[in-house]
Amino acid sequence: MEALSKIVIAAADAAGDAKNNAAAASAGFAYGLAAIGPGIGIGLIFASAIEAMARQPEAAGMVRTTMFLGIAFTEALAL
């Protein structure tokens, strides 16, 4: 909560309008929440890839390639 209040105070210093301040604070909060989903998705992809490489070390190259493609597609959702 302290970080959020610092963001609101910084926005208030930059622009004097209360409506703009609320919009800036809520946009920052929304972007932060939107990053949670892809972050969890990338973590699950990485965990599954490590598990697959541990079970079948001979398939590590293919698993690694597929992992990087999955991470790229998941990260594209965050943008």
Residue 12: the pLDDT is 65
Q: What is the pLDDT of residues 46-78, one digit of tens each?
A: 999 999 999 999 999 999 999 999 999 988 877
pLDDT value at 20 more than 80:
no
How many other C-beta atoms lie within 10 A of the C-beta of residue 49? 19
* Structural domains of the chain ordered from first start: 2-34 (no CATH), 36-78 (1.20.20.10)
- Asked if 38 and 75 count as a contact pair (C-beta separation under 8 A), the reply is yes
Kind plus residue range of the DSSP H or E element containing 12: helix 2-14
pTM for this prediction: 0.63
- Asked if 63 and 49 count as a contact pair (C-beta separation under 8 A), the reply is yes
Residue 74: the pLDDT is 87
Rounded Cα gap, residues 7 and 29, in angstroms: 10
